[in-house]
Structure 1
């Protein structure tokens, strides 16, 4: 065999091995199928408790009122109960704490009732359970990578859909006392829906899981047999109330009309306890209507109903973008008409001379040219020559100052570099999500890939930051490199660390472990920083500076008095941002609903979101072109920062919308939960503004270069 052939086979084997490793790294519906033989053990994993009313999550086994793990190892499994399942970075970031449980589930084996444990709890543990029930916390169990679901049917009973997780209990009035009590779910009926596996596995009788439903029930501690199970699980039994009688009999007499005794009156350490017995049932049911590849569709409850709204969002975006596009076409025609008609851009100096000859002969030609350059032509004397006036007025007079480096350019360049990094990350996430690689079945995949793309894009960040910095005339490229590598990632890491201090104090799984923080710091300092340095070196030393079509004057031009719509820059920026926000508004409703209001559902319409994102980018580019042209026509050449702010201004309106959403739609209680909401909302808006601001800056730069490319001044 020749050397070339051997080399080709060697590389081919490596590629095959690489794809083989990647196929085990993530889970794609329809491909990573796990089938089970009859009586084979199905490991049930417990994860966490979470709520739509709180930003704090808790690991299941950290709850002091649930059955503690026994450390028992099921047949055929490598993990004993209570041992953690290896998690990827994304799972840790989203607060997952997955561990093996003691529940015994074997394929095809129904269990009418199985005793689990008796948990003795005191008043503190009982009150914590009451608080979680009050805040509508739900529990997530996992079987064959499917979260245990609460099953619902539509009003017309034509379709079933799922909500991930199941509630911990409920609140109701006690008929005997007339007081409000908290009732805890302590019996779980697990329904595993299966169908025959396809291919050779199905020929051998293997089965695949296509559904996992949990039906919790509250059953009092009495009327149980010798095994610890209720005498009849299916009967209408008395529920288990989270209630411990008070030691002092006069407390209830002191508060006769209250549904609870104030906490400051009750002694939480009086030693009083209650017993919570835990049992479960397992039933296997064949499901012929659901294919394995479509088993996640039931979790997308509003897929059919919301399609019309998504298309409405696209139509709304197209209309706004089309109107702005028409304005941009008019602007482009006016700026380019000199090239088409053969006048204006290339003969600016000639026009000035013509105007000078027609002016007052007592003034010298040189003095007239200086007057035209500084204050513009005398409209009273030159009103007869409108074409010449148009050629030397407005934006064309800025040819010697329009590319003057902006103030604080050393800060703008790193921001543009970080924005390019975020644009690359967002585009990669949307593309992979549309391709189906990132989906709910790959738990934590979205966050893991997002961090990976962000770190990898450090090279692009350094490259573009260096080129912008070099264009501004900067010389200290090492300083710019460190600013790019440390500014935004450093602020991001500092915010996460500070918020972690609050979540650590709450013993919440939302807090990142110290090892995870250390891993993130290593990714930042040991991988991203060298990539930024490499990209910056190449962009500054190996790439030529961006050449401008006109030379910059030594003395800055005085900016004339501005009109009201260019004088108040903040109003102009916020108004332009409101236009971009209108493109995103409708789709933003679904994003907020999935992230904050209904955490048990999944945002799935990444195809629609990608279309909206593309239209949003076009709208931002059009808005920046319009505002930049208005500013240049007002003879104001400070367009660098304005283009960046106009591009990112819609992030301000998104944050305003999040505050409105918090006030009117959410029911978040507690200082820490509110702090997490506003901090993460501000962080998301900052990320968005950096990305869109960079799009606006680059659009304005290309627009300005293009319109001044025909202006030639000797």
Structure 2
């Protein structure tokens, strides 16, 4: 289905504006020696729980006299960023050695609070010169030679070394490291006095300002990582080639024999009973059960596929460069809102082709089929984040903005798309006439039932992408940076091809067994890869990560359920459309009474 022209132009305009904004965000970062450079403290949290983040000054650090909150974009808030003015004065080209930050008396409660943070490997994150990230652990645990956790020693770092690099009048790089010898012992529950200090040393570099983020991008493109990525593509490519060869040498040969057989039967004067997939030509285009839900699922799947296409476009033109805070969340939210017309158009178009009458109900179903579960999941997880007082909890104002986007953009475009789909007057093209009464489906072996077919259909596409999945998970649910979007696009295309091929093959076997209810089966088989991805979530959480705690567990499995559900709808749509093209082709090639 083609997109309405107005919607296409609107999306293209958004992409152009988004790219321009992303490219011009860091335009004038020039300083004279001694000028103050903006430093913002962002958040703290357990290193292994990326969703469990808190405001920087929720821990009793040295608080500056005047704390100024930075105005944040929508995507930054969705990302859990809460930037405030940092405690350190890191002026441009001004070296400092053991500069006193503050003298602080830690009470017993503050000592316990810091010790719990050190025990959970809390890290801090700051931003220097707007978008240069600074990471560091707030302390360390001495476990050497101690088997009993009660004998561990807990130390809070009280001195930070900053190493900064510059090129002419611009900041290029900054890193932070903690002095392991300048620490405060937090092992015992007693009050402690400490002096917190910091140092900064400037060095000149020949790296250009335009390339200062490249070191983060290159971290995911190291030779040993690239070898694994290319191995993943080769593995996926071999899967595609084998599947293509299977279809070409077996499926097409079988089809050729079927065509010759049916052509011979038509020329024969003897009456012969039809068998195989030709036998059900009067039922194969009988519209599916629950056609409103089916049409809505196709509409949502098409919208999510369109969303993925535009996300890849933005990624390939460089919008999602490392630490472009909130860019991905902003893009997902805005593009999803702008493409809601795609869901409305495709849903009502299919529904009307299926001779449905209550298109308004179908349109509402298309609007809530994906957003409904996502909204319920968000309500639960946001409540958990509020209880934990985490920055992952969205402020009330941000929730109002999202509701306004839904009300003023998503809903009107959904309705406009639905009206356009209803008025398209597209007739469903069926090469064969549908009989009045459906034929009875014969008893089939267990391996040709829905669940075994879904398992077979989902395994091959999943096997083509599972290697790349680890890097995606490590980026989304960890601290790795993923920037090789070209490789990700190749893997995504392979995923679509394998999904389409395996769904077509299983659809043929189903029709050859004289089972004409292929509509929902093709959708379920195509989308079953999403179930395998969620199964991988269990393996990743318990086998490959160190995440723990109720909040992190809830966020991981809650939001991954929504993501996998989205993949289910998108790949189900791909599988159905491929099967529909195939079924129309084979029944168009024979003569049916």
TM superposition score normalised by structure 2? 0.91
Describe how 1:677-688 pairs up with structure 2 within 5 A.
677-688=556-567
Compared with structure 1, are the counterparts of its residues 85 and 525 closer, same or farther at alpha carbon in structure 2 (3 Å cutoff)?
A: same
Determine helix, strand or coil for the equivalent of 1:627.
helix
The list of structure 1 runs, each at least 4 consecutive aligned residues, that deviate by more than 6 angstroms after superposition, is 17-21
1:523-567 CA-to-partner distances (Å, cap 9, x unmatched) read 22331111111111111123412221111111001111213431x
Offset from partner CA, 1:112-135 (integer Å, 9 cap, x none)? 232222344433332222222222
Question: Is the 8 Å Cα contact of residues 188 and 280 (structure 1) preserved in structure 2?
Answer: yes
In 2, Cα distance between equivalents of 1:120 and 1:496:
40
Structure 1 pair 547/439, CA: closer, same or farther in 2 (3 Å)? same
Alignment of 1:588 onto 2:550? no
Matched pairs, number: 574
Equivalences for residues 286-365 of structure 1 within 5 A: 286-288=204-206, 290-299=207-216, 300-304=218-222, 305-330=224-249, 331-335=251-255, 344=262, 350=266, 354-356=269-271
> SS in structure 2 opposite 1:418?
helix
Distance 1:571 1:28 in 2: 52
Q: Which residue of structure 1 lines up, in the alignment, with residue 6 of structure 2?
A: none
Q: 1:58 to 1:320 in 2, by over 3 A?
A: closer
Partner of 2:59: 64
* Partner residue in 2 for 1:122: 107
Residues 414 and 465 in structure 1, CA contact (< 8 A), matched pair in contact too = yes
Instruction: Decide whether the 8 Å contact of 1:51 with 1:136 is kept in 2.
Output: yes
Counterpart of 1:470 (choices 313, 328, 352) is: 352
Deviation at 1:180, TM superposition (A): 2.2
The CA deviation string for residues 601-634 of structure 1, in whole angstroms up to 9 with x for no partner, is 3111111110000011000000010000000000
For residue 22 of structure 2, what is the aligned residue in structure 1?
A: 26
Name the CA distance, whole Å, in 2 between partners of 1:696 and 1:394: 22
| Aligned equivalent of 1:167 | 137
CA distance in 1, matches of 2:170, 2:15: 25
Compared CA separation, residues 443 and 110, structure 1 to 2 (3 A): same
Which of 79, 83, 98 aligns to 2:83? It is 98
Cα distance change on mapping 1:28 and 1:644 into 2, 3 Å: farther
In structure 2, distance between residues paired with 1:570 and 1:706 = 27
**Separation in structure 2 between the aligned mates of residue 638 and residue 275 of structure 1, nearest angstrom:** 75
Give the Cα–Cα distance (whole angstroms) in 2 for the partners of residues 22 and 93 of structure 1: 17
1:417–1:286 distance in 2 versus 1, CA, 3 Å: same
2:314 to 425, 432, 443: 432
The change in CA–CA distance for 1:515 and 1:336 in structure 2 (over 3 A counts) is farther
The 8 Å contact of residues 467 and 546 in structure 1, kept in 2 or not, is answered as no
8 Å Cα contact 2:220/2:484 also seen in 1: no
User: 1:493-512 alignment to 2 at 5 Å?
Assistant: 493-512=375-394
Query: 577-586 or 427-436, which moves further after superposition?
Result: 427-436
Cα distance change of structure 1 residues 676 and 527 upon mapping to structure 2, 3 Å threshold: same
Structure with the higher helix share, 1 or 2: 2
Would the aligned equivalents of 1:620 and 1:647 in 2 still touch at CA under 8 Å?
A: yes
Separation (CA, whole Å) in 1 of partners of 2:64 and 2:577: 57
Cα 1:397–1:173, aligned 2, differ >3 Å: closer, same or farther? Answer: closer
Judge conservation of contact 1:500–1:511 (CA < 8 Å) in 2. yes
8 Å contact kept, 1:467–1:545? no
Segment drifting more, 676-685 vs 304-313 = 676-685
Aligned pair 1:217/2:179, yes or no?
yes
Structure 1: gaps spanning 5 or more residues: 1-16, 72-81, 150-164, 197-206, 219-235, 247-272, 357-371, 378-391
For 1:555, what is the secondary structure of its paired residue? coil
TM-score scaled by structure 1?
0.76
Check 1:129–1:545 CA distance in 2 against 1; reply closer, same or farther (3 A cut): farther
User: Does the aligned pair in 2 maintain the 1:133–1:170 contact within 8 Å?
Assistant: yes
* Contact 2:300/2:343, CA 8 A, preserved across alignment: yes
Partners of 2:32 and 2:382 in 1: CA distance: 44
Which 5+ residue runs of structure 2 have no aligned equivalent? 1-12
Cα-to-partner distance string for 1:220-251 (whole Å, 9 max, x where unaligned): xxxxxxxxxxxxxxxx55x21124556xxxxx
Q: Distance in 2 between matches of 1:408 and 1:506?
A: 42
1:188 matched to 2:148: no
